[in-house]
């Protein structure tokens, strides 16, 4: 698979040319050009993505689309908007499931939702919601805690394709057994089957859950906060960013949160190196739940 990238093409090994770039440098150069093309053409700035992982994704995308090298991809990106849509989709392919890390959801229910009950209206921002599995997980928990009716969940992602799937709320039926297992481990109080309708090989989440969710395109690379939030959930998004972009996004979250608002990050993410740690209290270290403590 990856030989394409590293084995020299005949052209550049001919002795008549001075070969001043090795193959790793050629790929790095091409990726720089690609990222610049995307920035100028579409305004998406991927320069602050973790480089190793975006390189991997670009290579995957190249293979899947049958291209021979990244230079070919640059041409497609510049001239075919549809191809860019596809590229975006590939950039955010991720493993997700309902109630992923059940312990985290259990703690969220116990420690955060209890506090949210003291508010008459609750705003929740699920940033980087991907295909929506976690949004529905949160909605189900809110419902069981009697909170959903006073909640507005803003579920955002920069990938329209993912948002479409999230909004349709239809998932493969064969995944429901795993989701049910997670649901029970996370402290689910009812029967998970009450929240979806199985038809053929699909399961559609109940529309009562969706009534309180607003799906919207929001790009953490460039967009600002849009409302004051009681809780921001952003799991396994920051892992793809470099420290600069992580800091920028965390600042947006900090500004967007109400005093004493909560922030939930992914298992491998933390505020430790961000400069935001002074503005938050870590209330569950393993589950990565933080509470805003300082005013700006």
Partner 1 sequence: MLTLQSKKQAYSALVIGVSAGGLAALEHLLPQLPQCFSLAIIVLQHRGENSVKSIDDSDEDFLVEYFKGRCSMPVFAATMGDKIKAGHIYIAPAQYHLLIEQQQTFSFSLEPPVNYALPSIDVLFESASHCYKNQLIGLILTGAISDGSQGLKMIKINGGLTIVQEPSTAEASFMPTAAIASHKVDHILPLKDISTFLINLTLKDQGDD
Out of 10, 18, 20, 95, the residue judged to bind partner 1 by CB under 8 A: 95
Q: How much of the chain is in helix, strand and coil states, percent to nearest 5? A: 50, 20, 30
Please, which residue, 13 or 214, has the CB nearer to partner 1? Answer: 13
Count the residues of the shown chain that bind partner 1, applying the rule CB under 8 A: 28
Residue 286, phi-psi category: left (phi > 0), alpha (psi -120 to 50), beta (remainder): alpha
Note whether 11 binds partner 1 by CB under 8 A: no
Stretch that binds partner 1, among 91-99, 110-118, 139-147, 254-262 (CB under 8 A): 91-99
Burial (CB < 10 A; 0-12, 13-18, 19+), residue 282, is middle
Direct distance between the N- and C-terminal alpha carbons of the chain, in angstroms, rounded to an integer: 49
Please, which residue, 23 or 36, has the CB nearer to partner 1? Answer: 23
Please, which residue, 32 or 294, has the CB nearer to partner 1? Answer: 32
Please, which residue, 1 or 227, has the CB nearer to partner 1? Answer: 1
Out of 7, 15, 82, 296, the residue judged to bind partner 1 by CB under 8 A: 7
By CB under 8 A, what part of segment 217-246 binds partner 1? 236, 239-240, 243
Note whether 94 binds partner 1 by CB under 8 A: yes
Alpha-carbon span 213 to 224, nearest angstrom: 19
Alpha-carbon span 125 to 104, nearest angstrom: 17
Alpha-carbon span 184 to 124, nearest angstrom: 23
By CB under 8 A, what part of segment 39-58 binds partner 1? 50-53, 55-57
User: Do 133 and 96 form a contact (C-beta atoms < 8 A)?
Assistant: yes
Q: What tokens appear for 241 in the block? A: 């960013």
Q: What tokens appear for 137 in the block? A: 């997980």
* List of residues contacting partner 1 (CB under 8 A): 1-3, 6-7, 24, 50-53, 55-57, 60, 93-96, 103, 236, 239-240, 243, 267-270, 273
């Amino acid at each position: 698979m990856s030989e394409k990238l590293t084995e020299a093409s005949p052209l550049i090994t001919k002795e008549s040319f001075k070969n001043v770039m090795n193959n790793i440098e050629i790929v790095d150069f091409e990726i720089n050009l690609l990222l610049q093309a995307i920035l100028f053409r579409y305004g998406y700035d991927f320069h602050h993505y973790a480089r190793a992982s975006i390189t991997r994704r670009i290579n995957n995308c190249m293979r899947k689309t049958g291209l021979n090298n990244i230079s070919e991809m640059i041409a497609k990106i510049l001239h075919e908007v549809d191809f860019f849509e596809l590229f975006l989709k590939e950039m955010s392919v991720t493993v997700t499931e309902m109630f992923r890390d059940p312990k985290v959801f259990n703690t969220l229910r116990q420690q955060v939702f209890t506090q949210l009950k003291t508010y008459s209206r609750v705003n929740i921002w699920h940033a980087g919601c991907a295909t929506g599995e976690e949004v529905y997980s949160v909605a189900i928990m809110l419902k069981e805690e009697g909170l959903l009716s006073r909640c507005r969940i803003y579920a955002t992602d920069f990938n329209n394709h993912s948002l479409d799937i999230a909004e349709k709320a239809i998932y493969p039926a064969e995944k429901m057994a795993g989701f049910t297992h997670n649901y029970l481990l996370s402290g689910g109080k009812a029967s998970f089957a009450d929240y979806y309708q199985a038809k053929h090989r699909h399961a559609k989440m109940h529309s009562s859950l969706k009534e309180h969710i607003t799906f919207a395109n929001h790009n953490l690379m460039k967009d600002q906060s849009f409302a004051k939030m009681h809780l921001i959930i952003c799991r396994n998004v920051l892992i793809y960013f470099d420290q600069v972009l992580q800091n920028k996004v965390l600042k947006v979250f900090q500004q967007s949160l109400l005093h004493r608002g909560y922030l939930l990050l992914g298992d491998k993410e933390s505020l430790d190196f961000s400069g935001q740690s002074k503005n938050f209290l870590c209330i569950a270290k393993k589950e990565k739940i933080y509470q805003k403590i300082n005013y700006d």
